[in-house]
Structure 1
Amino acid sequence: MRVRRAAVLGGGPGGLYVARLLKLAQPWCDVVVHEQGEPDKTFGFGVGLAAGTQRKLEAADADTLRDLVAAGHRHDMTMVVDGRTARVHNDRLIGIARTELLAVLQRHAEKAGVRIEYGTRRSAGEFDADIVIAADGVSSATRSAGEFGETTELGRGLFLWCGAEFALPDALFVPVRTEHGVFVTHAYPYSGGRSTFLIETDEQTWRSAGFDRSPEPAQPEDSDETSLRYLEEVFASELRGHALIGNRTRWTRFRTVRCARWSHGRTVLLGDAAHTAHFSIGSGTKLAMEDAIGLVEALAEEPDVEAAFARYETTRRPSVERMQELARRSRLWWESFPSRLDIPVERLMVAYMTRAGNVPLDRFAATSPDVVATALEQYAGAAPPAADLVDWVLEQPLRHGKTEFPHRILRHVPDGLALTTFAENLADPWDEAGDDLIARAREARRDGADGFRFTGLTDRPALLTRLDLAERVRSEVGGLIVVNGPASLRADLAAGLVSGRCDLVSLTEEDV
């Protein structure tokens, strides 16, 4: 499709990047970015760019990526729990200041011939353009005013973004117990000698600390100073004497946005305007910039607007929905994170890496052999082999109370062991249906049940959720926990054992 005029709403990473790529692909096109804010007045701290995203940006626009990498800060990742540390290597992960990210993208967009207009709020219907690209963020006015079939899911946990004026040596995941409950920071360094501190907690802790009664900041640009000063004391060790910096910093809940349609007429949504994925696994910047690549390719390869927008959505939606599902699982894991603090930090790191089913146990072992070897020795009481880890995990013996099991695959229930079976297929183990199951499990234990066996659908998403449900029962109710699944998903079952989600596994009859 030959595009003569294109209007881009939003001067964030997605808007600037799609404008540049479109101008490079179709130099005759008049591309204008309309950003309601003023230049150099962005808010936010650091942005992470993972290795996979960097590869895609390099293929699409190597010049821009080169400047982003040069401005970024590489770092590894460390988890610290009660003074114990687990560190994993990840030298392709970079953090970059959001201000620097936007400066690089703005410079490259203008170099390509894109015009950028600041300071005026515009709407999609105002433009005499062939296409309008709405990259106007999670609170997109374009999406709200259009016919895109928007739905929003609100997370249970609360979080805020802040920063500090020093660069951490690694990304940090640190939970801290307080008199009010547990606060967790996800902190990482970025360019300019600064670090992002993302801090989250559950609602009970948030209320117990009195944050529900804190005065509202007077102006939209103000931060919640009461919370910042409190959290400085909580994370004093990690801050090393530095203060927490706010930038419109307030407690909020994550909004997962989904749209039934990403386009309507000549208007198309991009990035957070079309979809969001939880920050613990899905970067809005990543998804927006990859959307930009897909949209510009579709515009080049299709004859008209309708066909191009349809191709863009057809191409991008599977990847986005996969990321949203991974992010949903990750969000649920982090919202329930304090329940896991009794297991060793190395096993907790394995649980973290395998929480969404995106990183298999053997792949994690290949990149972080020391951490995984320690976790496996904690699990089994014996040093693991160099290969065939999944089979080794399943073959380890278990002593539970007075009962001994020769390996972790339960083929028959020993005499005298009473297991209650739950054949539940829940979407969220921590919702009201999950609460009801916890109540039934407690009643079963009072009635003499020694433990529980969890079974259900044999597809992978169902098994991953079943492992989460089993973990919740194991933590809150206790007893011997057995999770059933197909032999084809042995790797997921093995990861569940090492992560403390269950004690034993069983295999479906057709797979034994």
Structure 2
Amino acid sequence: MHLSRAAVLGGGPGGLYAARLLKLAYPSCEVTVYEQGTPDATFGFGVGLAAGTQRKLDAADPDTLRDLVAAGHRHDMTLRVGADTVRVRNDRLIGIARTELLAILHRHAEKAGAALEFGSRRTAAELDADLVIAADGVSSETRGNGPFGTRIDVGRGLYLWCGTDFALEDAVFAPVHTEHGTFVTHAYPYSGGRSTFLIETDERTWRNAGFDVSTAATPFDASDEVSLAYLGEIFAEQLRGRPLIGNRTRWLRFRTVRCARWSAGRTVLLGDAAHTAHFSIGSGTKLAMEDAIGLVAALREAPDLATAFARYEAARRPAVERLQELARRSQLWWESFPARLHLPVERLMVAYMTRSGNVPLDRFAATNPDVVAAALTHYAGEQPPPSPDAVTGWVLDRPLIHNGRHYPHRHPARVDANLVTLDEVLTDPWDETGDAVVARARRARADGADGFRFTGPGDRAAVLTRLDLAERVRTEVGGLSVVEAPAALREDLAAGLVSGRTDLASFTGES
């Protein structure tokens, strides 16, 4: 396919990277990036690049990746609850300043021959181009004005982005209890002297602290100084007494963007314009840059734009939707995070790592055996096996004493207790349907039920949601919880046991 002129709307990571790759693939094509901001008006702090993303960038454009890694700041991950701390190693995770990331991508786009126009607010309709790549972000005007079948889901929790003027040793997750409720930070270093400091909370805590008022009083282009001052005080230990730094910092609710189609005519969506995934997965930059790789590959192989767009979407949508589902589960976990703070910190780390179903328990045991060993010791009161391959079976085979009843292992064929079956099929255990299940469970307990058997479809998504529902009922109502699932999902059940999501497992079909 021949391309004479291509336009990119948006000078973020996805747009700049797409411009470079497109110019490398089509040297004679005139490629122009239109960015409404200016190079010195970049907002945000640091972004993360995990090992998998680095591998894909290396395959597509090793020169750019080399500069990104050189400018990045490698770190591990720490969870701190009160005086207790647990650390997880992550050898290839790096943070990089958003300003530095954009400067590198800007430089490489221009080096490839792309033109960049800053301070230029343009629309797809007014551009004289064979191809328009809309990489204009989560609030994309292109998407809003086009036939893309957009759906936007808004999260329950609230969060804000801020920063610090020093580099943390590791990424840190740390909750702080206050008179208003619980706030939790997701913080990580991204340079030798800076860290991102994201803080989130639930709506009740947010309102109790008066942040609904401070948010309403904060202009769009300013930072919520009232929130920053208060949060700087309660996170003083993590901040070493330093202040929080704002940059258009205000409380937000995460918006998950989904589109029924990613292209229309000569225009194609890329990155946050097409889809978003919750920040707790660290996926915005990853998805945008991988979209750029996929789009340019499709353009090179297809005979026309329509075919290229179809191939691009067919190749990228499964990966995007998978990550969006992982992010959705992670978002729900973080929005309900304070309910888990009774767990020993090592078990809480296992719960965190397995929250989306993306990290198998045995694999986590292989990469961080000391953390998992401590979690399993808390779980069973005895030393676990040395081999990671034996962890799942060992977890399921531990005995349990619950309200005077003794179970020789955690997957008994029969449970001698008065259990009420909860078989509701839902996607969000904390929505109104989940509330109704909890209310029903409370009534059942008041009527003498010993606990609950959670059953339903046998697909993995349903089982993971069932474990989350069991956790909520177990935490808020009490009683014995038994989660049913096919034997093929025994590792998910084992992770649920260690994470405190259920007391017992039951393999479907056993009697």
TM-score, normalising length: structure 2:
0.99
**SS of residue paired to 1:142:** helix
User: Structure 1 residue 157: deviation in Å?
Assistant: 0.2
* Cα pair distance change 1:52/1:451, threshold 3 Å: same
Return the letter of the residue paired with 2:98.
Answer: R
State the match for 1:319 in structure 2: 319
Distance 1:373 1:36 in 2: 52
Return the letter of the residue paired with 1:346.
Answer: E
State the match for 1:390 in structure 2: 392
Return the letter of the residue paired with 1:362.
Answer: D
**SS of residue paired to 2:249:** coil
Could you give the per-residue CA deviations for residues 449-502 of structure 1, whole angstroms, max 9, x where no partner exists?
A: 011110000000000000000000000000011100000000000000000000
Return the letter of the residue paired with 2:31.
Answer: V
* Pair 1:23-2:17 in alignment: no
Native 8 Å contact 1:2 1:300 kept in 2? no
Q: Which runs of 5+ in 1 are unaligned?
A: none
State the match for 2:10 in structure 1: 10
Q: How does 1:86-485 map to 2 (within 5 A)?
A: 86-214=86-214, 216-217=216-217, 219-387=219-387, 388-414=390-416, 417-485=417-485
Native 8 Å contact 1:466 1:483 kept in 2? yes
**SS of residue paired to 2:453:** strand
* Cα pair distance change 1:192/1:282, threshold 3 Å: closer
Return the letter of the residue paired with 1:399.
Answer: I
**SS of residue paired to 1:356:** coil
**SS of residue paired to 2:281:** coil
User: Structure 1 residue 208: deviation in Å?
Assistant: 0.7
Distance 2:192 2:385 in 1: 43
Return the letter of the residue paired with 1:95.
Answer: G
Distance 2:17 2:409 in 1: 53
Aligned residues: 509
* Cα pair distance change 1:374/1:480, threshold 3 Å: same
**SS of residue paired to 1:375:** helix
Return the letter of the residue paired with 1:131.
Answer: L
Could you give the per-residue CA deviations for residues 200-232 of structure 1, whole angstroms, max 9, x where no partner exists?
A: 000010011111122645543210000000000
Distance 2:119 2:378 in 1: 58
Return the letter of the residue paired with 2:69.
Answer: V
Distance 2:239 2:468 in 1: 33
Distance 1:489 1:293 in 2: 34
Could you give the per-residue CA deviations for residues 31-58 of structure 1, whole angstroms, max 9, x where no partner exists?
A: 0000000112110000000000000000
Native 8 Å contact 2:215 2:250 kept in 1? no
User: Structure 1 residue 191: deviation in Å?
Assistant: 1.3
**SS of residue paired to 1:411:** coil
* Cα pair distance change 1:146/1:480, threshold 3 Å: same
Distance 2:361 2:219 in 1: 48
Native 8 Å contact 1:143 1:273 kept in 2? yes
Could you give the per-residue CA deviations for residues 58-83 of structure 1, whole angstroms, max 9, x where no partner exists?
A: 00000000000000100000000121
Could you give the per-residue CA deviations for residues 78-114 of structure 1, whole angstroms, max 9, x where no partner exists?
A: 0001210010000200000000000000000000000
Distance 2:282 2:294 in 1: 18
User: Structure 1 residue 120: deviation in Å?
Assistant: 1.6
Native 8 Å contact 1:217 1:223 kept in 2? no
Native 8 Å contact 1:154 1:255 kept in 2? yes
Native 8 Å contact 2:60 2:293 kept in 1? yes
Distance 2:34 2:201 in 1: 36
**SS of residue paired to 2:279:** coil
Native 8 Å contact 1:282 1:324 kept in 2? no
Return the letter of the residue paired with 2:247.
Answer: N
Q: CA RMSD in A?
A: 0.9
Distance 2:328 2:215 in 1: 31
TM-score, normalising length: structure 1:
0.98
Could you give the per-residue CA deviations for residues 225-275 of structure 1, whole angstroms, max 9, x where no partner exists?
A: 000000001100000011000000000100000000000000000000000
* Cα pair distance change 1:215/1:190, threshold 3 Å: closer
User: Structure 1 residue 4: deviation in Å?
Assistant: 1.2
User: Structure 1 residue 329: deviation in Å?
Assistant: 0.3
Could you give the per-residue CA deviations for residues 116-143 of structure 1, whole angstroms, max 9, x where no partner exists?
A: 0010210000111110000000000000
